[in-house]
A and B are shown apart, each in its own frame.
Chain A
Amino acid sequence: MSLVSKIYDSWSWIRKEILSQLSGKLALALLIVLIGISIYAALVMPPDYTGTWDVGSKWEDNPHNAPPEWASYLGYTCVPQTYYDLRGFSPALSEAGGRIILTYNITYNLELKEYPRGIMIKVNVTVPQGVRNARIRVDVIKPDGARLSSLMSEYVDLTNTSEIVLKLYKLERVDAVIMSAYRELASFLDLQDINVRPMVYIFGNLSYSEDLKSVVVTPLTGRYVFVIVLDFRVLGIQADTLLRYVQRSREFSLLVKGTCYGLMGTDHMSRDLAQGLFFGFPIALAIGLLVALASTAIGVTAGLISGYYGGFIDEFIQRTVDVMGSIPLLPILILVAQSIAKTYTGTDKPIVMLAAIFAVLIVFSWGGLAIIVRSMTLSIKSELYVEAAKAVGASNLRIISKHVLPQIVPYIAASLVYSTPTAILTEAGLSVLGIRHGFPTWGNILAEARLHGSIRQWWWILPPGLLIAIVSLTFVLLGLALEKVVEPKLRR
């Protein structure tokens, strides 16, 4: 019988045993789903994904702290994300005294009683030689007739370059803009509040409160007009030519951010949580399996050597395990992670920190298995058939690999399965404890939710927690099923 068919035989036996139990069926189904998602995520994961997770500019198009889109079924008001590609719009043209002015009037209909999360204008255009400078300005005309003049504006000097690359999202002096638009309420406006939540004032209906002593803001639905003015100072350039250039720009767009985003919402940095969770699958499985495999390999090797050879090496390994077992893991982990966080400065710091954390985890987690494998080895070593193998002259290596190891393989498998969620849980626990490596793991998402979120942002807290729980559950169920395979006494 060849090795392959032997392995296949034992595998099909194990599979049959596992499938005969409910927990086994459930575990296998979950595992297949997990592995499937992980493989798919690993395949489609952009190569620089882990590096860009923490980069804010990548996520600036998204609203921050936005619940998922399906939250509308839960009573959330979801203003959709509205995107206008301004290259296809025809502006009003005007030329006067060496200036060319393009005016875009964009109509935005706010139908739901909620405030959009932001306004973003992006420009990336090459203008012809002869354009000296440019100014871009945005006014907003609200449904109630108020005009918010120069809500955003930017000046670009083009004497040395012909590239305009702009992102307009900052609101300059928004309090003054609002005040001049609502002169009659000016003395009652809370300037600080305007600066803290400008979108509320931009997209809101301002009116006196009942006691006429303050201003209340309610969402204002209706037709908003965004007046985007491009004001170029030019030398010998036709307006048509310039317009063509603008229409052929790489990007010229207006984005009114909605209040909901995607499948899983966003966090405080507007990051798409769906992405973080999705790409967290292979990362979680990889770190779980990596630590489990490494610690199991070390534990089995140490246990075998300890049990089989005995003597000084046995004593040495067992005392090492004792010492390791009496050192508290958590303080060591915190110490190591903190010292790396403080001293290491490379760009791959998150990965280095994560690697260090797992190195510590591996170093401290093989001991239990080593003790079990040692005691199993001791009992197998004294079996008569091992003596018989010695009598025919079999080497130690042969006895270990042919007589001892095959018997402990099922236990190794069970231990592997049980220790897999440990690494994932520990990583999550550490992140929540404040050891933040920044690597986009589920634990990291949870940790940031703890730091920057609140219980109202359930879409940020619950999904990573649930996923960690589900992965752990999968392996624990699998372990339960395997336990019955390796320990026939547990079978009914």
Chain B
Amino acid sequence: MSEIKLKVTNLKKYFPIRRSVIDVLSGVPPRYVRAVDGISFDVIEGEIFCLVGESGCGKTTTGRLIARLIEATSGYSLYKVSRNIKDLIPREVFIKEDYLNLFGKLPNAVDKSLRLDIQIIFQDPYGSLNPRMTIGSILEEPLIVHSIGSTKEERQEIIFRALSEVKLNPPEEFVNRYPHMISGGQRQRVAIARAMILNPSLVVADEPVSMLDVSIRAEILQLMLDLKKLRNLSYVFITHDLAVANYICGRIAVMYLGKIVETGPTDMVINNPKHPYTIALVSAVPEPDPSNRLRIREVPIKGEIPSAAAIPKGCRLHPRCPYAMDICKTKEPPMVEVEPQHQTACWLYAKM
């Protein structure tokens, strides 16, 4: 069994809601959007761990927290630093062995070194590439920032290699192009190349294929799988598409309103969903085989996801849940194991 790459414990991210002067003066307590509200999960080395959920459930915020683009409100993590950058980080930063806490205050130098090790691929390849920069200069930026390659020729060499690694061949045809001159799939390949060029060990992929044409999704996913095999990467893969999750994920965590409601190996979660919300998600996936149509009963979840600023008391799903009981309205359900490695947070399975 592989070691744990990243262990996240009780991670929270609250965004303050701007208060008016009158609010401040009249002592109305500050309100927050609780985007991520205490989630815990493990990412195992070499695994693709998926965060699944509908828009606004906090999965992207989680990804951005791991990529350290935003600061966590609270939370603790153990992150195993790869061998490449271990020597760059002073010993006292490590908590135990090769592990350090991503969400704590880290010295600037450590922060910069960690950027070599954790990279992010964004959902929108149209927005993540600066339209005024050529592909070459987009890929050169990380190298310049981290002083990789002493001469321009050396950096050019690295860029060419990165481009052919993501199957943009021949690379010399791409370096001088601007993002608008290439297709969406090619753009996402460039974005992947940018993430990979620093040789990271953990990549956060934030819905990397959801903005691409269906025809090229598989190619990009296959490319990511190939790169993972080649480099022994770990992915935190964020998606709302269960079909994609089913194809690529090792383990899966279903998020609803800033909480993980169900987690476990992908097969178990998708073929045997326990939480009403997961059931609803799975049943919403179009099923190509008509005989499978009735295998999973549809759950008539009603209404829209509530605002993360006004999270319902008790179980977060209870206003929408067809099985809601009295306890659901008052107490939050604990995580319970329904079968080995498969856990869910629902009063239907928890002992009261």
Contact = CB atoms under 8 A, between A and B. Distances in A.
Interface stretch (A22-30, A115-123, A382-390): A382-390
Interface stretch (A75-83, A330-338, A391-399): A391-399
B127 A385 contact: yes
B157 interface: no
Nearest to A398: B145
Interface in B181-216: 191, 194-195, 198
A22 B159 CA distance: 45
Nearest to B143: A392
A349 interface: no
B130 A403 contact: yes
Interface stretch (B42-50, B114-122, B315-323): B114-122
A392 B69 CA distance: 10
A392 B142 contact: yes
Nearest to A382: B127
A393 B128 contact: no
Interface string B112-143: 10011001101010011110111000000110
A407 interface: yes
B112 A388 contact: no
Interface string B64-95: 00010100000000000000000000000000
Interface residues of A, number: 18
Contacts of A394: 141, 145
B142 A393 contact: yes
B31 interface: no
B146 interface: yes
A30 B198 CA distance: 52
Interface string A375-416: 000000001110111111111001000110011000000000
B69 A391 contact: yes
Nearest to B131: A385
Interface in B89-113: 111-112
A159 to B, nearest CB: 85
Contacts of B115: 391-393
Contacts of B195: 391
B109 to A, nearest CB: 11
Interface of A is mostly: helix
Nearest to B114: A393
A392 B194 contact: yes
Contacts of B176: 1
A389 B133 CA distance: 12
Interface in B142-184: 142, 145-146, 176
A251 to B, nearest CB: 68
A395 B146 CA distance: 11
B132 A391 contact: no
B122 A392 contact: no
B122 A388 contact: yes
Contact of A393 (B112, B129, B130, B134): B112
A392 B119 contact: yes
A382 to B, nearest CB: 10
A407 B132 CA distance: 8
Contact of A391 (B67, B124, B130, B134): B67
A402 to B, nearest CB: 7
A1 B124 CA distance: 27
A384 B142 contact: no
B126 to A, nearest CB: 8
Given A389-B141, A392-B145, A393-B145, A383 B132 contact: no
Nearest to B112: A393
A389 B112 CA distance: 12
Given A384-B127, A388-B122, A395 B132 contact: no
A393 B117 CA distance: 11
A403 B131 CA distance: 10
B108 to A, nearest CB: 10
A383 B127 contact: yes
B153 to A, nearest CB: 15
A406 B178 CA distance: 15
Given A1-B134, A391-B67, A392-B119, 5 more contacts: A385-B129, A392-B142, A392-B198, A393-B116, A393-B142
Interface of B: 67, 69, 111-112, 115-116, 119-120, 122, 124, 127-130, 132-134, 141-142, 145-146, 176, 191, 194-195, 198
10 contacts: A384-B127, A384-B128, A387-B128, A388-B122, A388-B129, A390-B69, A391-B69, A392-B198, A393-B111, A393-B116
